[in-house]
């Protein structure tokens, strides 16, 4: 999975957490914020050598609670690099499982789960 | 089938319905609407989304800065107060491919989203909310500048 | 996406003579909104991972690195830098100190450790992610760089002199852009960094995620880039000059509660 990787002394390191979820429960309303690592390349940009950087962006994303689909998103290359999304879910309680997943234009996937605290 | 025991027929229908219920959520996932996302004008994008017309509504609220210091990241917060909103679509009119995102909300998901988007130039950001088979819209202009020395 | 330069002229003409208060408010709104939904935290997480990763010939992590509050103590450490370190007998800012720990604790070569101190959008540098992580652990802590030690006083004095010193092909100093109130470049307000009032919000929000390049940038980078913009020769990473400037700016900003890593255009 392509993401932020480090130029370290040894081999490159990929992000341990390609997605960071923060879910805050207020009563039964849950504020969900998700930070994703992704270049979201439009395919219209040229790199320093003048070559066009090929398009590579998240196209689909889902937000599920306890396996139930809550938000189904279709995304374009016009969403900013390293996307940050916020959603609001009702009827959520502590212990519920929040799962966020994405699929990108290269067929790459990522998925992260968190238990609502 | 006519010779079959009525109870057995009901059982088979129930089993079929149950199986369909398991399969349906997967099929219900919105596949990426290539035609709409590759449309080069807002009008074509809306057409591909099946939006023939929309009514401007104050119930569709866009919170975005009027001026963005940089077009690479423009934060947009959208709320639809139209009852039973099923989806929110975002169209950035002057972008090379205006359709930016579409979110479908299931029961329990508030029709609300905050997302960072790219604006290639100063443009109207248009939001369309779908509810009860109709579309409700709102627009907000965001001016894009380039800060600092630029280079 | 091609970010075309906008035709700003009609926009400027629409503004009142003084920098439009409305424009200023809207830009502040933009800054608030991006700070609220920023990818900056991702870099902090990556920095945490790197902090704990054994590296170098000695195969140790940086976890025993002393940033001024004791070996491995990170909470509040960023806010009390730059300061004098007895073991190195010099004033050091965060990145200089990290480099010191990389060479002394991990046994790494200075050349190797500084091969790519400033990263790219796809590959942030070690310094960038470490700075984000460590700075984040000073959130809420008042900036309190060292000012008592003679070398700290000397660094401040040198930094101040460098700030006002004009040189280079354009005869610029830092003060050319940052020495007067009420100035701006295009739509960007230029803070007068010699004055605490304006230095405080700036120093309290670096390192910062730059949305225009999708990169986490540090104070060493900022010094480097300012010199580049003034068309000066490139300053060496963790050099006396860069440390002196960072010291000067941080002392000007002292007392301000740190609230980074920030998010900027």
pLDDT in tens, C80-118: 999 999 999 999 999 999 999 999 999 999 999 999 999
Per-residue confidence band for C4, with pLDDT thresholds at 50, 70 and 90: low
Tens digit of pLDDT for each residue in B13-49?
544 444 444 444 444 567 899 999 999 999 999 999 9
Q: Supply the pTM of this predicted model.
A: 0.86
Contact across the interface for C39 and A84, Cβ inside 8 Å: yes
- Strand-pair partners of C79: none
Please report all neighbours of B, defined by 3+ CB atom pairs within 8 A: A, C
Give the integer Cα–Cα distance in Å for C63 and C54.
Answer: 9
Q: By the 8 A CB rule, do C95 and C117 touch?
A: yes
Q: By the 8 A CB rule, do B94 and B122 touch?
A: yes
User: Chain A residues with CB inside 8 Å of C55's CB?
Assistant: 8-10
Q: For residue B20, how many other CB atoms are within 10 A of its CB?
A: 10
- In this prediction, residues A59-82 reach a mean pLDDT of 97
The residue of chain C nearest to residue A55, with distances taken between CA atoms, is: C1
Please report all neighbours of C, defined by 3+ CB atom pairs within 8 A: A, B
What does the CA dihedral B56, B141, C263, C14 come to, rounded to 10 degrees? -150
β-pair type (A5-6, A13-14): antiparallel
C43 CB near a chain A CB, below 8 Å? yes
Provide DSSP, B90-102: EEETTSSS-EEEE
**Annotated catalytic residue within C101, C174, C177, C226:** C226
The residue of chain B nearest to residue A58, with distances taken between CA atoms, is: B32
pLDDT of C258 above 70: yes
| Mean pLDDT of chain B, nearest integer | 86
Q: How many Cα atoms within 13 Å fall on the side-chain side of residue A117?
A: 5
Give the integer Cα–Cα distance in Å for C6 and B140.
Answer: 18
In this structure, what token pair is assigned to residue C168? 């280079």
Residue C56 has its nearest CB partner, among A9, A20, A37, at A9
pLDDT of C6 above 60: no
Q: By the 8 A CB rule, do C207 and C260 touch?
A: yes
Does a cis peptide bond (omega within 30 degrees of 0) precede residue C136?
A: no
Lowest mean pLDDT among A7-16, C42-51, C77-86: A7-16
Distances (CA, A) of A64 to A93, A101, B25, B106, C106: 13, 9, 11, 10, 44
The residue of chain B nearest to residue C12, with distances taken between CA atoms, is: B145
Tens digit of pLDDT for each residue in C151-187?
999 999 999 999 999 999 999 999 999 999 999 888 7
C226 included as an active-site residue: yes
Q: By the 8 A CB rule, do C187 and B67 touch?
A: yes
In this structure, what token pair is assigned to residue C144? 């309190």
Q: What percent of chain C has pLDDT over 70?
A: 93
- In this prediction, residues A88-95 reach a mean pLDDT of 95
Q: Which residues contact residue C57 at a Cβ distance below 8 angstroms, ignoring those fewer than 6 apart?
A: C106, C107, C108
Is residue C233 exposed (0-12), middle (13-18) or buried (19+ Cβ within 10 Å)? Answer: exposed
State how far residue A54 is from chain B, nearest Cα, in angstroms: 15
Q: For residue A16, how many other CB atoms are within 10 A of its CB?
A: 10
Contact across the interface for C124 and A4, Cβ inside 8 Å: yes
Q: What is the ipTM of this complex?
A: 0.88
CA angle in degrees (0–180, nearest 5) for C102-C104-C105? 70
Q: Which residues contact residue A20 at a Cβ distance below 8 angstroms, ignoring those fewer than 6 apart?
A: A34, A35, A112, C41, C42, C45
Q: Where are the alpha helices (DSSP H) in chain B?
A: 6-27, 34-37, 42-48
Q: What percent of chain B has pLDDT over 70?
A: 77
User: Chain B residues with CB inside 8 Å of C170's CB?
Assistant: none
Q: By the 8 A CB rule, do C224 and C242 touch?
A: yes
């Amino acid at each position: 999975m392509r993401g932020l990787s480090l130029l370290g002394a040894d081999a490159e390191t990929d992000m341990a957490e390609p997605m960071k979820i923060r879910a805050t429960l207020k009563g039964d309303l849950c504020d969900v914020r998700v930070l994703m690592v992704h270049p979201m390349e439009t395919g219209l940009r040229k790199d320093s050598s003048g070559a066009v950087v090929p398009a590579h962006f998240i196209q689909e994303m889902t937000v599920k609670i306890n396996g139930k689909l809550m938000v189904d998103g279709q995304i374009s290359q016009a969403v900013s690099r390293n996307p940050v999304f916020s959603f609001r879910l009702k009827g959520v309680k502590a212990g519920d499982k929040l799962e966020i997943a994405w699929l990108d234009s290269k067929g790459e996937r990522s998925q992260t789960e968190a238990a609502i605290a | 089938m006519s010779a079959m025991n009525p109870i057995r027929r009901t059982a088979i229908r129930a089993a079929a319905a149950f199986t369909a219920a398991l399969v349906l959520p997967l099929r219900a996932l919105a596949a990426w609407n290539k035609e709409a996302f590759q449309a080069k004008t807002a009008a074509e994008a809306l057409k591909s989304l099946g939006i023939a017309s929309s009514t401007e509504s104050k119930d569709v609220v866009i919170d975005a800065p009027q001026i963005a210091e940089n077009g690479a990241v423009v934060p947009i917060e959208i709320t639809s107060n139209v009852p039973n909103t099923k989806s929110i679509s975002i169209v950035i009119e002057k972008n090379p491919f205006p359709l930016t995102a579409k979110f479908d909300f299931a029961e329990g998901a508030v029709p609300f989203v905050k997302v960072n988007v790219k604006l290639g130039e100063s443009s109207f950001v248009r939001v369309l909310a779908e509810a009860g088979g109709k579309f409700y819209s709102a627009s907000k202009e965001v001016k894009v500048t380039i800060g600092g020395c630029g280079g | 996406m091609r970010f075309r330069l906008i035709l700003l002229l009609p926009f400027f003409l629409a503004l009142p003579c003084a920098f439009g208060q409305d424009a200023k408010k809207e830009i502040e709104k933009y800054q608030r909104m991006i700070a609220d939904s920023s990818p900056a935290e991702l870099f902090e997480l990556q920095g945490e991972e790197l902090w704990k990763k054994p590296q170098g010939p000695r195969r140790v992590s940086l976890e025993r690195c002393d940033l001024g509050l004791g070996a491995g103590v990170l909470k509040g450490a960023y806010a009390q830098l730059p300061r004098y370190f007895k073991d190195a007998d010099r004033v050091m800012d965060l990145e200089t100190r990290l480099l010191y720990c990389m060479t002394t604790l991990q046994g790494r070569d200075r050349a190797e450790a500084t091969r790519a101190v400033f990263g790219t959008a796809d590959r942030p540098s070690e310094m960038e992610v470490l700075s984000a992580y460590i700075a984040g652990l000073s959130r809420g802590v008042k900036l309190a760089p060292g000012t008592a030690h003679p070398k700290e006083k000397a660094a401040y004095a040198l930094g101040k002199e460098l700030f006002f010193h004009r040189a280079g092909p354009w005869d610029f100093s830092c003060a050319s852009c940052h020495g007067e109130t009420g100035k701006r470049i295009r739509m960007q307000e230029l803070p007068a960094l010699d004055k605490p009032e304006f230095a405080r919000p700036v120093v309290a929000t670096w390192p910062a995620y730059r949305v225009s390049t999708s990169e986490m940038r540090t104070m060493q980078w900022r010094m480097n880039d300012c010199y580049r913009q003034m068309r000066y020769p490139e300053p060496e990473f963790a050099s006396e000059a860069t440390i002196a400037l960072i010291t000067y700016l941080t002392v000007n900003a002292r007392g301000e509660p740190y609230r980074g890593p920030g998010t900027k255009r």
